[in-house]
Amino acid sequence: MTTVGLIGTGYIGPIHLGALRRLEGIQIKAVCDANLELARQTAKRYDVPRACSNYLDVLNDDSIDVIHNCTPNKYHYTINKQAIERGKHVLAEKPLAMNLAEAGELVELADKKGVVNGVNFCYRYYPVVQEMAVRIKRGDLGDVRMVSGSYYQDWLSRVTDYSWRLERKESGDSNITADLGSHWFDLLQFVTGLSVNEVMGDFATLLPKRKKPRKQVLAFEKASDAGTEDVDIELEDYSAVLFRLSNGAPGSFSTCQACAGRKSDTEFQVYGSKCSFAWNHKRSTELWIGHREKPNELLVESPFLQDQSTARYATLPAGHPLGYHDAEMNLFGDFYNAIRGNTVIPPISRPVFKTGYDEMKILDAVIASNKQRQWKRVAW
């Protein structure tokens, strides 16, 4: 039995707990949040025996094997580091840390201590996204010629909408590029097998003044009924990035959290010399395959139609769609298989701390590009 302690019971914490409860051989022993009442409510909902408000109570518990770090960005480095120093395996939310130096230190420390580590880049764990990666690797696409995509939301489209992600002291030097952009660029590098070598970033703060609630508001929670204060916003809620891949192919990506009507609209397109692939989060069970000289195809996720290496993620018969919770569970399944020594896929397929570090190299270059208004090379 592998024992787990989870720190941070806001929006993403319960998502982790729900996925963990579906895996065999997992015992969740404790949940922790600075808001003790929230921790207690979460513990009751998920039948966790212990709730606390001091994360050290979880880290110092020798009976806990694994830490799930679901806290805001500013706590990622400290909690990840202290968990590793205690010999615990860690699955962390992204970004891995607040800056590149911290992320690099975590990679080195995790390697030194020999702990299993992971970062929650869950979008790569949709079955047909895995299938896209396999097909590109085996040459179905041909040469990657161009990549494009976007990630739009509307939960920060009003001045009364607020999140800790908009605060530099909580989030670091980026809001949306560090958050949604990290997911998208992970998809890009995972499915193509290429790296992002150069970037040109452009940030904008579309709502420079917002009304900040005087009480804690969870992600995606309405804050209009809370008392507020007017605050200036420093970080971006819009970002666009031009980039060049390691094979010279160009690409473009844009993301915004102020797009009315777009709830979680992620699009990813890869155009090659033989065919094209496209995937959209709203139709997450479908892989679009584009051709020039024959009809286009639409592959619906299926354990019988996908490559053997990806079929195991499609756990239901075709026509029974999997979703976001299932993508999380697929990622966690690979993480815990690694802990038990049951890795059935190459380690490159599983997002580890090194993956998070590489994503932060891209983020670091995009932030520098936006500030200097020029192309910047990624420091590989």
11-61 pLDDT, tens digit per residue, is 999 999 999 999 999 999 999 999 999 999 999 999 999 999 999 999 999
Among 122, 150, 184, which residue terminates a domain?
A: 122
- Tell whether 138 and 111 lie within a shared domain: no
> Residue 181 in 3-state DSSP?
helix
Residue 288 amino acid letter: W
In a domain, 379, yes or no: no
Strands (DSSP E) contained in the chain are: 2-7, 26-32, 51-52, 66-69, 89-92, 117-119, 144-152, 196-204, 209-213, 228-232, 238-245, 250-256, 265-272, 276-280, 286-290, 297-300, 376-377
* pLDDT at residue 318, rounded to an integer: 87
Residue 1, beta-bridge partner list: none
* pLDDT at residue 222, rounded to an integer: 62
Beta strands 250-256 and 238-245: pairing type?
antiparallel
Overall number of domains in the chain: 2
- Tell whether 34 and 141 lie within a shared domain: no
Tokens 């949604």, residue? Answer: 180
pLDDT tens readout for residues 206-215: 999 999 998 7
Beta strands 276-280 and 376-377: pairing type?
unpaired
pLDDT tens readout for residues 242-286: 999 999 999 999 999 999 999 999 999 999 999 999 999 999 999
- Tell whether 193 and 104 lie within a shared domain: no
Q: Provide the domain limits for residue 70.
A: 2-122
In a domain, 378, yes or no: no
Nearest-angstrom CA–CA distance, 299 and 297: 6
Residue pair 334/345 in contact by the 8 Å Cβ criterion: yes
To the question of pTM greater than 0.85 for the whole model, the response is yes
Identify the CATH number of the domain in which residue 75 sits. 3.40.50.720
- Tell whether 233 and 217 lie within a shared domain: yes
- Tell whether 106 and 131 lie within a shared domain: no
In a domain, 346, yes or no: yes
Neighbours of 294 (CB within 10 A): 7
In a domain, 10, yes or no: yes
* pLDDT at residue 220, rounded to an integer: 57
Nearest-angstrom CA–CA distance, 312 and 330: 9
Candidates 242, 152, 239, 142; CA nearest to 192 is 142
DSSP assignment of 291-314:
-SSS--EEEEP-TTTS-HHHHTT-
pLDDT tens readout for residues 300-345: 999 999 998 999 999 898 889 999 999 999 999 999 999 998 766 5
Beta strands 144-152 and 196-204: pairing type?
unpaired
In a domain, 292, yes or no: yes
- Tell whether 245 and 346 lie within a shared domain: yes
Among 68, 101, 122, which residue terminates a domain?
A: 122
Identify the CATH number of the domain in which residue 167 sits. 3.30.360.10
> Residue 9 in 3-state DSSP?
coil
- Tell whether 316 and 180 lie within a shared domain: yes
* pLDDT at residue 250, rounded to an integer: 98
C-alpha pair distances (Å), 16 with each of 5, 19, 29, 42: 11, 5, 14, 12
In a domain, 199, yes or no: yes
Among 92, 122, 152, which residue terminates a domain?
A: 122
In a domain, 73, yes or no: yes
Residue 199, beta-bridge partner list: 243, 376
- Tell whether 115 and 207 lie within a shared domain: no
- Tell whether 159 and 281 lie within a shared domain: yes
H/E stretch holding 127 reads helix 127-137
- Tell whether 115 and 128 lie within a shared domain: no
- Tell whether 183 and 293 lie within a shared domain: yes
Residues above pLDDT 90, as percent of the chain: 91
In a domain, 377, yes or no: no
- Tell whether 103 and 135 lie within a shared domain: no
